[in-house]
Structure 1
Amino acid sequence: MREHFGSRFGFIMAAAGAAVGLGNIWGFPTQAASNGGGAFLMAYLFLVMLLGFPMLVMEVAIGRYGQANPVDSVRKLGRSGIQKRLAAAVGYLGMLVPSLVLTFYAIVAGWLLAFLAAAMTRLMGWDSATEWLQAFGLGRNIVGTLIFYLLTILVVQAGVRNGIERWSARLMPALFVLFLVLFFYILTQEGAMAGLKHYLVPDFSKVLEPKLLVSAMGQAFFSLTIGGCSMLMYGSYLSKQENIPRTALQITLLDTGVAFLAGLVILPAMFVAMNNGVTIFADDGSLLDSDTLVFTVLPALFETMGPSGLVMSLVFFVLMAIAALTSSISMLEVPVSYTTERFKASRPFMTWVLGTGLAVLSVIICFNFGSLFGFVIRLSTQQIQPLVGLGFVLLGGWMWGRAKLFEELVQGTPELANSLFWRIWPTYVRVVCPLLVILVIASNW
């Protein structure tokens, strides 16, 4: 019998965990700092509701309707042989996204584990170990990557309820608590209020700049992992009694809340670092080392704070590791669900086989970092994922049809027929969302 989540709380924590990852804690503050702070925040909050939430409802609905892995779930939307093959092709392309993303994501998460270990070794005065853990090197990268894969495999092999749901329900609340601890600590430091003002007070003259709007739209799309199959996958484990629009809204708000909290912590921290002599911005106002912000600026900041900074460094990298793990388990779950259902193989066996295979690919990327790392990121997140997101919304909106969509959504939402949501959403998700996604795709090519 196919597993389901044991509770609404477990599903929301798992789905929010899938969405909440390094894109929120690493990507969002970096984008905000590079695009006018408050102006970017304002645009992002608007666009996450304009694009992210409507598409999330569709993806979760497709998953719950299909009650299967992504390929078989979208295949069920087709009414003829040709439609089913077309839908399956989109499903297969979608399954490629989390697999490719995990190959580079695990490397970055391995860096986080190394910096987490470095915070511990620094507290114990082990200087040589700290230096090795913080230096960018092949050995350190491979060790960190393999340890992170091991953690991911151990959670996923335990199953939906005993693995993914149990650990998401523990780790996500811990994530929020650690964020709040860091936020209140950073606010006590000199320079924090200037960073807070930069983040929360928008420059309205920049809000409608095309570059800023496109960046905010892309961040809104990727922060909810639209087109990444994780939400469709988790939707397939959702009970028919659940209210999909309400649940999707809760996931959207949680995910956006984490991104907002990340900005509350990291932008003030950047200005504290500037106050302590750490160079953040170039002469032209651009952000230095934007891709490695959390690995350069924040450790440099914590080092200027004395013993308390070492403790806060430990807290921060624990937080980052949690965010990375809650996302990675959803990525590995996608191919695991497909292989266990298609080949009737045991979950632990397929988890170890697929996890090991992806780990080998990550090690190959480590050996060819300069040529492969950026290429895999662009291929998976900027080129394939938006196409899959577009495919899901077109299949759901046009191939599946309004009547079937209503039949699925009304389960658990009996008041749907007379709601404002139903009067607007079906047409909006068929027409407006595809146009917005095409704009995201065009900006990435």
Structure 2
Amino acid sequence: MLVRDSFHSRIGFVLAAAGSAIGLGNIWGFPTNAANNGGGAFLFVYLVVTLLLALPALYAEIYIGNQAQKNPVSALGEACKNRLPRFGRFAGKAGLCGAIMMLSFYTIVAGWMLSHALSAVTAIGGLTDLSNWLASDSTLRNLLFTPVFVLLGAAIIHQGVHAGIEKWSARLMPILLLMLIGLIIYILQQDGAMAGLKQYLIPDFTQVTDPTLVISAMGQAFFSLSIGVGGMMVYGSYMQKDKDIGKLVLSIGALDTFIAFLAGLLIIPALFVAQHAGQQVFADEKLIGEGQLIFKILPTLFESMGTVGLLVATGFFSLLSIAALTSTISSTEVPVSYLVEEKSMSRKKATWLVSAVVLTASMVLIAFFEALFGIVIQVLTTIMQPLSCLFYFLVVGWIWNRGNKLTDKSRLSNDKWLWVWGNYLRYVCPILLTVVFVNVAF
């Protein structure tokens, strides 16, 4: 019988799961949304909807995996075996496809981060032509740097859960946090930073009922926790059964939200520093280029600071590279765990097979970048992830009976808080998530 690998400590699980959640969406997506949607008002609404929707969704996904102690395909198949056994496994396999889709574009973007970090390093070394090429947008650069990131993720995954995922998460997450804090301290000392800080931290409560702001905050809260592709489910399966999932979810959510908050403290003041230096950052109160600002406005700002600015640029893009790496690890583990447990592959063989598939998919995206890149991201984040998570709520609240403590009447009658929590997941969360899906997708 196959002996499953596992996390050896609570902190190891929390750091790995938080690393999965903390990615480019937190460190760039959150500040961009905040800057475009009222700053402090967005932050306030984001915190509210994280508590109301995102954390319950994270709980549902981890809970299913933890109770089953199996990969997402087997876990959902087992939870649905009395009513929808085939559909449960189908949903699990859809999650595998979602993980591959996420990795196919995420590794490309992660490669951009790494090349920009090296661009700053080569600029410091006086290699101007190489630095300019590394900072340029070219197919050749994508073809070279995407495989680098695929290999980095594979090198960690094939070592296993404890020796690879847990140990490397414990190393990378503190580095990420220290680098983020160091960059914040530096940026806040620059001219113009205080205006950005005020915009970010002082909410205009007249904006908190703006439907566009609310939907944007709900979408960001949901997607920033990396829910809906099975990564958190497989991580939950590697924790000892019946651990206090609630406390673990709160720890993950708190760390994820804290990093997003810190990212706002870095990015939004940095944008106002750039504006103070004469660069056009906003037009009609919206960011110019939105996500592209990270490769245009900020590098120009760093260059204007001289050698110190290039060092800051190195740290900034290295930070984003680490965030991207910790996020790709969990997505890679989803199909790897399936191949190891259901197809009896060795972890090493499964890891390299999945990596080859991801690399092939990434190369296809690079070859047909204009036609496919945006579509793949949109389909995954606005359709597949919310539908998957809606299904998790339905599984926990309605479909899964045997072994599900949240629908066990004997337990619920003796624990009023469990009764409240179970019914919240069963009735309220599906309605809230449906609202998010309809407004974001349509």
The 3 A distance-change label for structure 1 pair 423 and 406 is closer
- Residue 432 of structure 2 corresponds to 436
Amino acid paired to 2:429: C
Q: Distance in 2 between matches of 1:390 and 1:341?
A: 26
1:174-215 deviation digits (Å, cap 9, x = unpaired): 111111101111111010000000000011111110000000
- Residue 394 of structure 1 corresponds to 394
Q: Distance in 2 between matches of 1:237 and 1:8?
A: 11
CA displacement at 1:240 relative to structure 2? 2.1
Amino acid paired to 1:257: F
Q: Distance in 1 between matches of 2:415 and 2:398?
A: 22
Identity %: 45
Amino acid paired to 1:300: T
TM-score (normalised: structure 1):
0.95
Aligned length: 438
Q: Distance in 2 between matches of 1:158 and 1:266?
A: 35
CA displacement at 1:231 relative to structure 2? 0.7
Contact kept? 2:397, 2:406, Cα under 8 Å: no
- Residue 250 of structure 2 corresponds to 249
Contact kept? 2:407, 2:422, Cα under 8 Å: no
Contact kept? 2:111, 2:148, Cα under 8 Å: yes
- Residue 358 of structure 1 corresponds to 358
Q: Distance in 1 between matches of 2:416 and 2:196?
A: 42
Q: Distance in 1 between matches of 2:204 and 2:265?
A: 17
Amino acid paired to 2:41: A
Aligned partner of residue 64 in structure 1, secondary structure: helix
Contact kept? 1:190, 1:272, Cα under 8 Å: yes
- Residue 44 of structure 1 corresponds to 46
- Residue 325 of structure 2 corresponds to 325
The 3 A distance-change label for structure 1 pair 174 and 416 is farther
The 3 A distance-change label for structure 1 pair 419 and 244 is farther
CA displacement at 1:436 relative to structure 2? 1.2
Q: 1:265-344 residue pairs with structure 2 within 5 A?
A: 265-282=266-283, 284-344=284-344
Q: Distance in 2 between matches of 1:122 and 1:428?
A: 54
Amino acid paired to 2:318: V
Which one is further off, 434-443 or 2-11? Answer: 434-443
Q: Distance in 1 between matches of 2:228 and 2:20?
A: 12
Q: 1:26-105 residue pairs with structure 2 within 5 A?
A: 26-80=28-82, 82-105=83-106
Amino acid paired to 1:289: G
1:315-347 deviation digits (Å, cap 9, x = unpaired): 111110110000001111100110111111111
Amino acid paired to 1:435: I
The 3 A distance-change label for structure 1 pair 407 and 431 is closer
The 3 A distance-change label for structure 1 pair 98 and 132 is same
Aligned partner of residue 170 in structure 2, secondary structure: helix
The 3 A distance-change label for structure 1 pair 10 and 404 is same
Amino acid paired to 1:316: F
1:87-142 deviation digits (Å, cap 9, x = unpaired): 11211112221110110011100100100110110110100100110010000011
Residue 423 of structure 2 corresponds to residue 427 of structure 1: yes
- Residue 149 of structure 1 corresponds to 150
Where structure 2 has 5 or more consecutive residues not aligned to the other structure, the ranges are none
Q: Distance in 1 between matches of 2:416 and 2:185?
A: 41
Q: Distance in 1 between matches of 2:100 and 2:190?
A: 41
Contact kept? 2:33, 2:216, Cα under 8 Å: yes
CA displacement at 1:79 relative to structure 2? 4.2
- Residue 174 of structure 1 corresponds to 175
Residue 199 of structure 2 corresponds to residue 203 of structure 1: no
Contact kept? 1:90, 1:392, Cα under 8 Å: no
- Residue 231 of structure 1 corresponds to 232
CA displacement at 1:392 relative to structure 2? 0.8
- Residue 161 of structure 1 corresponds to 162
Q: Distance in 1 between matches of 2:5 and 2:163?
A: 10
- Residue 345 of structure 2 corresponds to 345
Q: 1:370-381 residue pairs with structure 2 within 5 A?
A: 370-381=370-381
Contact kept? 1:54, 1:425, Cα under 8 Å: no
1:40-90 deviation digits (Å, cap 9, x = unpaired): 11000110011011121111110011111101001111242x521121121
Aligned partner of residue 196 in structure 2, secondary structure: helix
Q: Distance in 1 between matches of 2:402 and 2:214?
A: 31
Q: Distance in 1 between matches of 2:361 and 2:101?
A: 9
Calculate the aligned-residue CA RMSD, in Å: 1.8
